[in-house]
Structure 1
Amino acid sequence: MTPGGNAPLTATRVTVEVTALKPLNVSGLLLTEAGKARSDADLVFRDAPKGPGVAHRPAARNAPAAITVDTAALPREIGKVVVTANLDHASDTLAGTEPTATVRDSITGAVLVTFTPRRLSRETALVVVELYRRGDAWKVRAVGQGYANGMAGIAGDFGVSVPSRASAAPPKPVGPPAASPPLAKVTLDKGKVSLVKGGSVSLEKNGKPLLSSVRMALGWEPARQGRNIDLDASCIAYDAQRERIETAWFMKLNVFDGAIAHSGDSLTGEGSGDDESVTVHLDGLPSEVCGLVFVVNSFSGQKFTEIRNAYCRLLDAGSGQELVRFDLTHSEPMTGVVMCKLVRQYSGEWVMTALGEYVDAKTARGMVKPAAAML
Structure 2
Amino acid sequence: MTAMTPGSNLPLSAVRVAVDVTAPVRLDVSGLLLAADGKVRSDDDFVFYNQPAGPGVTHSAAAGGGDTITVDTAAVPEGIDKIVVTASLDTPGATFAGTEPTGTVRNADDGSVLASFTPPQLGTETALVVVEIYRRAGAWKVRAVGQGYANGLAGIATDFGVSVEEPAAPAATPQAPPAPPAAPPAAPAGQWGPPTGAPVPAAPPAPAAAAPPAAPAAPPAPGKINLDKGRVSLQKNQTVSLVKGGRPLLSSVRMGLGWEPAFRSKSIDLDASVIAYGPDRKKVDNCFFGKLTILNGAIQHSGDNLTGEGAGDDEAITVHLGGLPPQVTGLVFVVNSFSGQKFSDVAKAYCRLLDAQSGEELVRFDLTHSEPRTGVMMAKLIRQFSGEWEMTAMGEYVDSRTVRGMVKPAGQAL
Range class of TM-score, shorter chain: 0.5 to 0.7
- Equivalence for 2:259: 219
- Equivalence for 1:125: 129
Alignment of 1:8-157 (within 5 A): 15-21=18-24, 22-27=26-31, 40=40, 45-46=47-48, 49-51=53-55, 54-59=56-61, 64-70=66-72, 84-88=85-89, 92-93=95-96, 96-99=99-102, 101=104, 103=106, 111-113=111-113, 116-118=116-118, 120-122=120-122, 124-127=128-131, 145-149=144-148
Aligned-pair CA distance for 1:237:
3.0
Is the aligned partner of 1:163 residue 2:160? yes
Aligned-pair CA distance for 1:314:
0.8
Secondary structure of the equivalent of 1:338?
A: strand
Is the aligned partner of 1:176 residue 2:178? no
- The one-character-per-residue Cα deviations of 1:123-179 (angstroms, maximum 9, x if unpaired) are 8332288999999xx9xx9x78242346xxxxxxxxx99625499724465953569
Alignment of 1:287-326 (within 5 A): 291-299=330-338, 301-304=339-342, 308-309=346-347, 311-317=349-355, 318-321=358-361, 323-326=363-366
Name which of structure 1's ranges 15-24 and 62-71 shifts more when overlaid on structure 2.
62-71
Contact 2:45–2:54, Cα closer than 8 Å, also in 1: no
Q: 1:129 to 1:267 in 2, by over 3 A?
A: same
Aligned-pair CA distance for 1:367:
1.6
Aligned-pair CA distance for 1:233:
1.0
Is the aligned partner of 1:3 residue 2:25? no
Q: 1:320 to 1:83 in 2, by over 3 A?
A: closer
Secondary structure of the equivalent of 1:120?
A: coil
- The one-character-per-residue Cα deviations of 1:334-363 (angstroms, maximum 9, x if unpaired) are 5x32141235497967343252514132x2
Q: 1:262 to 1:111 in 2, by over 3 A?
A: same
Question: Which whole-Å CA distance do the structure 1 matches of 2:246 and 2:31 have between them?
Answer: 27
- Equivalence for 2:404: 365
TM-score (norm 1): 0.63
Aligned-pair CA distance for 1:265:
2.1
- Equivalence for 1:233: 272
Aligned-pair CA distance for 1:248:
1.8
Question: Which whole-Å CA distance do the structure 2 matches of 1:38 and 1:331 have between them?
Answer: 33
Q: How many residues align?
A: 342
Aligned-pair CA distance for 1:104:
6.6
Aligned-pair CA distance for 1:264:
1.6
Aligned-pair CA distance for 1:330:
4.3
Question: Which whole-Å CA distance do the structure 2 matches of 1:218 and 1:65 have between them?
Answer: 46
Q: 1:98 to 1:250 in 2, by over 3 A?
A: same
Question: Which whole-Å CA distance do the structure 1 matches of 2:323 and 2:94 have between them?
Answer: 35
Question: Which whole-Å CA distance do the structure 1 matches of 2:334 and 2:273 have between them?
Answer: 5
Aligned-pair CA distance for 1:276:
1.0
Secondary structure of the equivalent of 2:190?
A: coil
Contact 2:371–2:397, Cα closer than 8 Å, also in 1: no
Unaligned 5+ runs, structure 1: 151-159
1:218 aligned partner, one-letter code: G
1:337 aligned partner, one-letter code: G
Unaligned 5+ runs, structure 2: 5-9, 150-156, 165-188, 196-208
Question: Which whole-Å CA distance do the structure 2 matches of 1:6 and 1:192 have between them?
Answer: 26
Aligned-pair CA distance for 1:25:
1.2
Contact 1:234–1:296, Cα closer than 8 Å, also in 2: yes
Secondary structure of the equivalent of 2:404?
A: helix
- Equivalence for 1:342: 380
Q: 1:111 to 1:259 in 2, by over 3 A?
A: same
- The one-character-per-residue Cα deviations of 1:59-115 (angstroms, maximum 9, x if unpaired) are 49997532345566578x89x987734225799438534435374765xxx643386
Q: 1:165 to 1:93 in 2, by over 3 A?
A: farther
Q: 1:216 to 1:38 in 2, by over 3 A?
A: same
Question: Which whole-Å CA distance do the structure 2 matches of 1:13 and 1:358 have between them?
Answer: 42
TM-score (norm 2): 0.58
Question: Which whole-Å CA distance do the structure 1 matches of 2:84 and 2:17 have between them?
Answer: 12
Question: Which whole-Å CA distance do the structure 1 matches of 2:368 and 2:38 have between them?
Answer: 40
Of 240, 263, 267 in structure 2, the residue corresponding to residue 203 of structure 1 is 240
Aligned-pair CA distance for 1:236:
1.8
